[in-house]
Amino acid sequence: MPNDTTMTSIDVLNTAESWATSGRAVAIATVVETWGSAPRPVGSHLVIDSDGNFEGSVSGGCVEGAVVSEAIDVIGTGKSTMLEFGVADETAWQVGLSCGGRIRVYVEPVEISRP
């Protein structure tokens, strides 16, 4: 039986597909690495459209705001990016990882193949 994280990830991926097939420009952010205290596990997703609407979660708080902002850039350029947030970063207090954790988030545009 899938756990809550698996079901949430599946829901977010379904949302990404639905938004993209309806013509919305979409990016998906995925937690690819965590270290120490991190609010969401590896494999967590956040889907973002070009208007800044989003669904899912990769961390919470200001981290998600930063990811949404970067995702809008990814949608505009069509180029994926790797983001890292952590306590060693001078912005750690601003983005909410002052608890000692670190996360890496891969953000990529979603492209739907049409027959």
Look up residue 48 and give its two tokens.
Answer: 């973002």
Question: Mind listing the pLDDT tens digit for each residue in 73-92?
Answer: 999 999 999 999 875 545 54
For residue range 43-57, what is the model confidence (pLDDT) as tens digits?
A: 999 999 999 999 999
Q: How far is CA 87 from CA 32, 43, 94, in A?
A: 17, 21, 10
Q: Do the strands 26-35 and 81-86 form a parallel or antiparallel pair, or are they unpaired?
A: unpaired
Phi, then psi, of 6 in degrees rounded to 5: -65, -45
Q: How confident is the model at residue 113 (pLDDT cuts 50, 70, 90)?
A: confident
Residue 88 pLDDT: 54
* pLDDT range class, residue 36, cuts 50, 70, 90: confident
pTM equals: 0.82
Indicate the SS3 state at residue 17: helix
Contact 31, 42 (CB under 8 A): yes
